[in-house]
Amino acid sequence: MNSTFAKLFAAAASLPLSCAIVLGASAPPPDINYDESKVGSYTLPDPLVCADGTKVTDAATWRVKRRPEILELFRANMHGRSPARPAEMKFEVTSVDKQALGGRATRKEITVRFGPEPDAPPMRLLLYVPNAAPKPVPAFIGVNFEGNHTIAADPGITLTDQWTWDNKTKTESLKRPGEETRGKSIGRWALDKAFARGYAVATIPRADIEPDYAEGWRHGIRGYSLKKSGRTEFAPDDWGAIGAWAWGLSRALDYFETDSDIDAKHVVVMGHSRMGKTALWAGAQDERFAIVISNDSGEGGAALARRWFGETTAVINKAFPHWFCANFKQFSGHADKLPMDQHELVALSAPRPVYVASAEEDRWADPRGEFLSAKNAGPVYQLFGKEGVGVDEMPAVNHPVGDTVGYHIRTGKHDVTEYDWEQYLRFADRHFGRGK
Ligand code: GCU
């Protein structure tokens, strides 16, 4: 941290505006802040005040007027606009193994084809259905980081080629992941815990929808859609990679609606970190997702943008220029100018249950900012007669709170752990009226 700059900024911030401008304090602080006393004051946009100043006092006005307004703010300024479900989409079940994982689950692999052209990127969906549970079963779905084969040490999962970026050589290449990566992320997918409670678990690889680097869109659904639209450049409010991943989750849900093993009305969308940002956006846009779960989603996810703590709009736009729409760049260092904030993204899940989770050592993601989003989504839930997090202050570590809006901060690092899954499964059971 550049302490000279920080001191100057702190000094300038306490001066009258005219003096502050002389000192150059109108420029955004470039530093990362981990000091709660330096967060500064901010005013959150009120989810219950419409653009024309009308106060929202009932659920109907929220649904008909205010919710569409907030959704539009996120579309226009952050995530961009996503296309409709492709008319020519097809599902091909490419493999079924009824005795997967030692007979505990049926494994299905489904290729989702977005169009008939050979350059239409295939999305490969992996689905495990617990054999012991009566069908149809509820399901959890999330986007995985490095391929379907990383979520379980299951030799039957197809290893698929994916475009990857080498940061050292600054080159991209189409690679088949090695066998040694099978089951690599097993700790983040508590399959047996989910099966024991009767849930299916499904996942899609991020690289199938969009490889995660600045130029990756050329190999994903955004490049394909752009070409189909006859354009060569994205509009400032066209979707970014997070929009694309979220869209992929909705297309997986389209498939669930055709699979008699899955109860498509009880699908939980869940994601970690950048995929937590994705899960929140998927749930906001697609109300068919029954529960929305954000695990350590941080900046651009559950964390309030206006808090100067951990990652900032400036940092995220610089490091991941492809995640959000081009319009979002104007808020780099100017989060206070955003016409919305992330508590309103959480509120877009209302009245459906939503769960926000943080990790104590994950300061980059700003745990307090995540909690405050969950808390400040509460007034929207109250319109529906539902309780939000139910507490004013951040709870102690490992003490989950909340009814329809769940929240916990657990000990440990930025990750998805068994502890997180236990809370999510319990939360889903409670809201789906299961496990009594
Ligand atoms: C980076 C990024 C975060 C993101 C995280 C992840 O740390 O700055 O915004 O959540 O990667 O996805 O793992």
CA of 299, closest atom in ligand 1: 9
User: What secondary structure, in 3-state letters, does the chain show?
Assistant: CCHHHHHHHHHHHCCCHHHHHHCCCCCCCCCCCCCHHHCCCCCCCCCCECCCCCECCCHHHHHHHHHHHHHHHHHHHHHCECCCCCCCCEEEEEEEEEEHHHHCEEEEEEEEECCCCCCCCCEEEEEEEECCCCCCEEEEEEEECCCHHHCCCCCCCCCCCEEEEECCCCEEEEECCCHHHCCCCHHHCCHHHHHHCCCEEEEEEHHHHCCCCCCHHHHCHHHHHHHHCCCCCCCCCECCHHHHHHHHHHHHHHHHCCCCCEEEEEEEEEEECHHHHHHHHHHHHCCCCCEEEEECCCCCCCCCCCCCCCCCHHHHHHHCCCCCCHHHHHHCCCHHHCCCCHHHHHHCCCCCCEEEEEECCCHHHCHHHHHHHHHHCHHHHHHCCCCCCCCCCCCCCCCCECCCEEEEEECCCCCCCHHHHHHHHHHHHHHHCCCC
pLDDT tens profile 103-144: 999 999 999 999 999 889 999 999 999 999 999 999 999 999
pLDDT tens profile 306-354: 999 999 999 999 999 999 999 999 999 999 999 999 999 999 999 999 9
Distance 272 CA to ligand 1 centre (A): 9
Active site residue 414: yes
The response to whether residue 298 sits with its C-beta less than 6 Å from ligand 1 reads yes
Ordered by start, the domain boundaries in the chain are: 3-79+297-414, 90-285
The response to whether residue 276 sits with its C-beta less than 6 Å from ligand 1 reads no
Residue 436 has a pLDDT of: 66
Distance 305 CA to ligand 1 centre (A): 14
Cα 338 to Cα 328: distance, rounded to the nearest angstrom? 9
Residue 1 has a pLDDT of: 35
Mutation probe of ligand 1 site: the residue of 32, 78, 145, 274 with most atoms within 8 A of C-beta? 274
pTM over 0.85, yes/no: yes
Distance 228 CA to ligand 1 centre (A): 31
Q: Which of 185, 225, 273, 373 is catalytic?
A: 273
CATH number of 90-285: 3.40.50
Cα 407 to Cα 295: distance, rounded to the nearest angstrom? 10
The response to whether residue 274 sits with its C-beta less than 6 Å from ligand 1 reads yes
pLDDT tens profile 388-405: 999 999 999 999 999 999
CA of 276, closest atom in ligand 1: 10
The response to whether residue 299 sits with its C-beta less than 6 Å from ligand 1 reads yes
* pLDDT of 358 over the 70 cut: yes
Active site residue 18: no
Distance 357 CA to ligand 1 centre (A): 15
pLDDT tens profile 144-185: 999 999 999 999 999 999 999 999 999 999 999 999 999 999
The response to whether residue 316 sits with its C-beta less than 6 Å from ligand 1 reads yes
* pLDDT of 16 over the 60 cut: no
